[in-house]
């Protein structure tokens, strides 16, 4: 006999859900109290052993153990997963999620609505439409614009390049989703040398080949040089190559630098090439009066990626692809499927969002995002980015003033890149890499790592603070930097294997 509270969206199920969420939160709070930093104080092998011991028969048993098993999972998860709300978590573009967003996300789970068809989730469809409209307005787009939520910035960039590929193919021959190489033309996608790797991966997936990507050099402030882009486009032989898109980045992953969007848009326009702006990281500036000027010109892009699971503090995933002309979606993903959205249903108003997306079943991710803006307003979210920007500026000053640290790049948005200054310069890469692992091992501090091209072409290891906790204080940043220096000294004394 199945329990009456088995299904979430029943009255009994909702009552049980309330109890379960309360108990899970209690267990998670107990788990959190047992930790001393953003990561568990153990090695990967120790964690593997711990989880093996917790689940000697794996996590897919034949017979379930009921709610106690769930509560044990919650406690162990809170104790040993990453704690992004810890002020010493500063590694990745992965923010702590907002309580309001996590709570509203429960709605997506309860009702399991899907936005592909109207009858799979009518309310969620309406909310996504309104969310997209609001974001288009903030980006400076007009009434013809449109957009869709996607599972991430990589997916948004992929879909933007799909649209660009199809538009380019349509230019040379009126075909839908045609391969460019079939026309004897090698496709070309231009982006800065600091563009996210998902651009190249999208080219590979779309059959353009990673070799379609030509990188344009950046200036000292890590921004694409528009004159170099212009030169690259002037050098294109129209008999052999077909420019598909220029991709500008508004918020590079490491530096937060924003390509000069007006200038890049002007060059792209002059050469008749589509412009995509990857604002996966920089999108938070849409909500901030202080930082919005960085995005001036974004409205000139044909398409824009926004990752609200980065700088709008959403639980993943909440990425959005916007298009200045919503018809772009129709030509690339517009699709009528007999069992989902037949023409006559659509004509009668029963249309979902299937034709905008590469997915079919699609989660109601718009609910948590809408709930966030409804609760906090764009001002509330923008204020959070301002707070992180303040922290990054503090970190920049603190690194510059610290005798044991060397500043590589200061704050544009909320990242700062630097290095621990080793006594032996030849040991810099090994020591900086090892000191970060040492911090991981203690679980006390979580800083990022990247490599940076030097003038002679060598790439050297650097550290990075990605500051996305708006409640962290400047003293937390100071603690993080002290932890880096202490770990650096310990590694120098004990060796990089420590």
Ligand X SMILES: Cc1ncc(COP(=O)(O)O)c(C=O)c1O
Q: Which residues sit at the interface with ligand X, rule CB under 6 A?
A: 93, 152-154, 157, 196, 198, 249, 251, 253, 278, 280-281, 307, 319
- Quote the least distance from Cβ 430 to ligand X, whole Å: 26
- Quote the least distance from Cβ 319 to ligand X, whole Å: 6
**Rounded (10°) CA dihedral 20, 21, 23, 27:** 130
- The beta-strand segments (E) located in 46-168 are 89-90, 146-150
- Quote the least distance from Cβ 349 to ligand X, whole Å: 33
Closest CA to 322 of 306, 311, 298: 306
Q: Which is nearer to ligand X, 194 or 265 (CB)?
A: 194
Q: Which is nearer to ligand X, 258 or 371 (CB)?
A: 258
- Quote the least distance from Cβ 76 to ligand X, whole Å: 26
Contact 492, 423 (CB under 8 A): yes
Q: Is 35 left (phi over 0), alpha (psi -120 to 50) or beta?
A: beta
Q: Which is nearer to ligand X, 120 or 156 (CB)?
A: 156
Q: Quick one: which H or E segment has residue 248?
A: strand 241-249
Residue indicated by tokens 């060397």: 406
Q: Which is nearer to ligand X, 205 or 485 (CB)?
A: 205
Q: Which is nearer to ligand X, 249 or 333 (CB)?
A: 249
- Quote the least distance from Cβ 192 to ligand X, whole Å: 11
- Quote the least distance from Cβ 246 to ligand X, whole Å: 15
Q: Which is nearer to ligand X, 166 or 278 (CB)?
A: 278
∠ CA 273-274-280, rounded to 5°:
140
Name the phi and psi angles at 395, rounded to 5: -60, -40
Closest CA to 87 of 491, 492, 483, 474: 474
- Quote the least distance from Cβ 198 to ligand X, whole Å: 5
Contact 378, 372 (CB under 8 A): no
What are the percentages of helix, strand and coil residues in the chain, rounded to 5? 50, 15, 35
- Quote the least distance from Cβ 317 to ligand X, whole Å: 7
Contact 406, 458 (CB under 8 A): no
Q: Which is nearer to ligand X, 280 or 447 (CB)?
A: 280
Q: Which is nearer to ligand X, 166 or 259 (CB)?
A: 259
Q: Which residue is at the shortest CB distance from ligand X?
A: 153
- Quote the least distance from Cβ 448 to ligand X, whole Å: 11
d(CA 487, CA 260): 38
Name the phi and psi angles at 320, rounded to 5: -135, 135
Name the phi and psi angles at 305, rounded to 5: -95, 130
Exposed, middle or buried, 292 (CB in 10 Å: 0-12/13-18/19+)?
middle
d(CA 223, CA 400): 22
Q: Which is nearer to ligand X, 154 or 469 (CB)?
A: 154
């Amino acid at each position: 006999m199945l329990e009456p509270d088995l299904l979430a969206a029943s009255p009994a199920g909702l009552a049980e859900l309330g109890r379960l969420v309360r108990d899970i939160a209690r267990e998670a709070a107990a788990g959190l109290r047992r930790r001393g930093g953003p990561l568990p104080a153990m090695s990967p092998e120790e964690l593997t052993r711990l989880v093996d011991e917790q689940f000697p028969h794996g996590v897919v048993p034949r017979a379930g153990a009921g709610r106690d098993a769930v509560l044990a999972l919650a406690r162990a998860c809170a104790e040993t997963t990453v704690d992004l709300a810890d002020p010493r978590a500063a590694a990745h573009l992965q923010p702590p999620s907002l309580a309001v967003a996590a709570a509203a996300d429960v709605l997506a789970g309860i009702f399991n609505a899907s936005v592909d068809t109207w009858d799979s989730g009518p309310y969620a469809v309406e909310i996504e439409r309104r969310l997209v409209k609001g974001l288009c307005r903030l980006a400076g787009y007009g009434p013809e614009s449109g957009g869709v939520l996607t599972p991430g910035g990589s997916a948004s960039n992929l879909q933007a390049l799909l649209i660009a590929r199809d538009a380019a193919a349509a230019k040379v021959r009126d075909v839908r989703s045609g391969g460019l190489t079939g026309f004897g033309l090698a496709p070309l996608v231009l982006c800065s040398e600091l563009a996210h790797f998902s651009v190249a991966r999208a080219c590979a997936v779309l059959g353009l080949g990673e070799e379609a990507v030509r990188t344009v050099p950046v200036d000292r402030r890590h921004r694409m040089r528009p004159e170099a882009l212009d030169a690259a486009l002037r050098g294109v032989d129209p008999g052999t190559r077909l420019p598909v898109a220029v991709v500008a980045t508004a918020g590079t992953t490491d530096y937060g630098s924003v390509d000069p969007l007006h200038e890049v848009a002007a060059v792209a326009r002059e050469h008749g090439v589509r412009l995509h702006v990857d604002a996966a990281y920089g999108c938070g500036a849409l909500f901030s009066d202080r930082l919005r000027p960085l995005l001036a010109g974004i409205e000139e892009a044909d398409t824009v990626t926004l990752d609200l699971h980065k700088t709008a503090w959403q639980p993943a995933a909440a990425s959005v692809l916007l298009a200045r002309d919503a018809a772009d979606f129709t030509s690339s993903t517009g699709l009528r499927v007999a069992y989902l959205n037949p023409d006559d249903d659509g004509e009668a108003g029963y249309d979902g969002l299937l034709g905008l997306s590469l997915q079919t079943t699609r989660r109601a991710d718009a609910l948590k995002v809408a709930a966030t803006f409804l609760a906090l307003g764009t001002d509330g979210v923008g204020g959070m980015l301002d707070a992180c920007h303040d922290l990054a500026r503090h970190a920049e000053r603190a690194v510059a003033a610290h005798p044991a640290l060397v500043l590589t790049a200061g704050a544009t948005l909320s990242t700062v890149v630097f290095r621990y200054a080793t006594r032996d310069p030849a040991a810099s890469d090994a020591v900086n890499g090892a000191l970060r692992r040492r911090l991981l091992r203690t679980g006390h501090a979580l800083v990022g790592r990247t490599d940076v091209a030097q003038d002679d072409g060598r790439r050297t290891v650097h550290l990075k603070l990605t500051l996305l906790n708006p409640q962290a204080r400047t003293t937390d940043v100071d603690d993080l930097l002290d932890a880096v220096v202490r770990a650096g000294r310990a590694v120098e004394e004990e060796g990089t294997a420590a």
